[in-house]
Chains A and B, each alone.
Chain A
């Protein structure tokens, strides 16, 4: 498998501030990373797909100016929640695959964001 880490595991911030969440692929080079959002007691919702060196592809209904994704290297993708509000409080999970032919994703442990 692949090992994916996220940092921080939990962040609490004030409304109006921006928060950056890091997703790292620790043991292989990930050209594609995925960002999911999970509300309490609900399933995962794909927010965007990021490809190293290019712009992320956002799912319908996800504000790209609100959720900035950067995938500048093969081992790191970041999600920045800009001007966070309480409704942005959620569990954010990243994942990666070894390429589309492998048909499997490896998930990070998630980041809990609480906006006061």
Chain B
């Protein structure tokens, strides 16, 4: 079975400081992992994805995530937060394209 746990429902950072959004997964098979961002009243935008290639994945807008099998984690990071990063972030695990398992989401607030 597959599942995702986003460890923080809400994260607050000051503008210009690092961002860390935590995600742990559970999967019976080699998973693919995704991070999506959702701005208010908008659809989902793919930030980055891991599909069994390099374990450090670079995405859009300066975000990156590292797949750590030993820790079953896929945490999302960004060196310096920008006001426009304020949004809801979802971690997703999948084994096939037909089964997408969403985390409960992390709301990121960026303080000016």
Q: Contact residues of A with B, CB < 8 Å?
A: 1, 6, 32, 34, 41-44, 46, 49, 91, 93, 95, 97-105, 107-110, 112
Contacts and interface: CB of A to CB of B under 8 A. Distances in A.
Given A43-B102, A93-B43, A93-B44, 8 more contacts: A32-B97, A95-B100, A99-B97, A103-B96, A103-B97, A104-B94, A105-B100, A109-B42
11 contacts: A32-B98, A43-B90, A44-B102, A49-B98, A91-B41, A103-B51, A103-B95, A105-B97, A107-B44, A109-B43, A112-B41
Contact of A104 (B88, B97, B104): B97
Contacts, number: 58
Contacts of A46: 100
Contact of B90 (A34, A41, A44, A103): A44
Interface of B: 32, 34, 36, 41-44, 46, 49, 51, 88, 90, 94-98, 100, 102-105, 107
Contacts of B94: 103-105
B35 to A, nearest CB: 13
Given A98-B97, A102-B97, A104-B97, A43 B105 contact: yes
